[in-house]
Amino acid sequence: MLMVGGWQRDYNFFKMKVSINKKIVNGPYGGGNQMLILIADYLAAKGVGVSFELGEDTDVVLMMDVKKESCCFEIEKILELKKRKGIKIIHRINDNGSHRQNDKIRDKKILDANKLADKTIFISEWVRDYFIERGFSGDHVVIHNAADRTLFKPSDRNRQINEPLKIVTHHWSDNMSKGYDVYGKIDGFCSDNPNIASFRFIGRDCSFTHFSSICEKITAKPYKEIPQYLSSQDVYISASLFESGGCHIVEGMACGLIPLVRKGGGGTENYSRGYGFVFNDATELIDYIRKLYEDYDFYLETKNKVKNEYLYNSDDMCKVYYEAII
């Protein structure tokens, strides 16, 4: 019996057993943890047993991570069991080394671990192409991250004409590649132009060290509380670079927010395509903010498109995981 998010899940009474090599973490944590919870719950609901241990009764291994400190059983143990029992291995690739000062060691670990895989799941077209350029070949599928639409959904609120735009972003990491250079400039713009826009940043205390001041700081919140802080806003900014996918942008879009995504953002560009705008730098981003503020019809048309047409949800995502696993 596993305690997750305040309630218990029993993942151990089914016939087919999937062993996941990354444990669920309670409390505010990164997007990969939320995807793990959604996938594990969906598999259990479909009659698949889920374990975070490797055993003789394991039928399939879902590799969610390759970092030794994050794994709950060693990759060498997976290889040994595969050789002995012929178990199926699914490798979900949701990381890359480019946003950590071109970490070639991380890329090599991912590719080395992938040699065990019978099937690979990439969380965006961008990260798929990234690893193809570095030598990946094999059976694979792209499955975008998604938000739980029972939690993340648009509010009935619409910004009024001449009302300042409400802008938000949320990150748990203090990695500079998350876009702190841009967020600092946007915060400065909003501070100087409160009649045009406000800026809300949600994150861990360590993230706040990048700012001398900010319009509104909100400390990291549990997953279930995040929607209330997003849905009251108008625009979601992602200034991240080289994101394999990123849950932050899909959570913002699921709440009906207009996505403004940085060029070079990686998977975030894949996720937001057709719903928002791509900016090159803070200057161009500020131009978009001004346009959305000054042209109300443009703002309303763009926001309604996200609210009414972005319907992708975690059940859609998990269904494809289920099909890949079984």
Q: What is the pLDDT of residues 191-239, one digit of tens each?
A: 999 999 999 999 887 888 888 778 898 988 888 899 999 999 999 999 9
CA nearest neighbour of 177 among 103, 258, 250: 103
For residues 322 and 60, is the Cβ–Cβ distance under 8 A? no
pLDDT at 1: 43
pLDDT at 5: 41
Strand partners, 18: 50, 60
Residue 49: CB partners within 8 Å, gap ≥ 6?
11, 12, 13, 14, 15, 16, 17, 18
pLDDT at 3: 41
For residues 295 and 285, is the Cβ–Cβ distance under 8 A? no
The answer to whether the 2-142 and 165-309 domains have the same CATH topology is: yes
Handedness of CA 213, 219, 223, 229 (dihedral sign): negative
Q: Which residues, given as ranges, of the chain have pLDDT below 50?
A: 1-8, 11
What CATH superfamily is the domain 2-142?
Answer: Glycogen Phosphorylase B; (3.40.50.2000)
Round to whole Å and give the CA distance between 122 and 247: 14
User: 145's torsion region: left (phi>0), alpha (psi -120 to 50) or beta?
Assistant: beta
pLDDT at 125: 98
Specify the pTM.
0.92
Could you give the C-alpha distances from 304 to 157, 210, 257, 310, 314, in angstroms and in order?
11, 33, 9, 10, 21
pLDDT at 192: 95
Q: Using the structure block, give the residue that is written with the tokens 């889920």.
A: 50
Report domain 165-309's class.
alpha beta
Round to whole Å and give the CA distance between 217 and 186: 14
Round to whole Å and give the CA distance between 296 and 65: 44
CA nearest neighbour of 92 among 12, 21, 9, 171: 21
pLDDT at 9: 57
Distance of CA 223 to the CA centre of its chain: 12
pLDDT at 220: 85
Residue count of the chain: 326
pLDDT at 31: 73
Round to whole Å and give the CA distance between 273 and 17: 37
The domain segmentation of the chain, as residue ranges, is 2-142, 165-309
For residues 194 and 127, is the Cβ–Cβ distance under 8 A? no
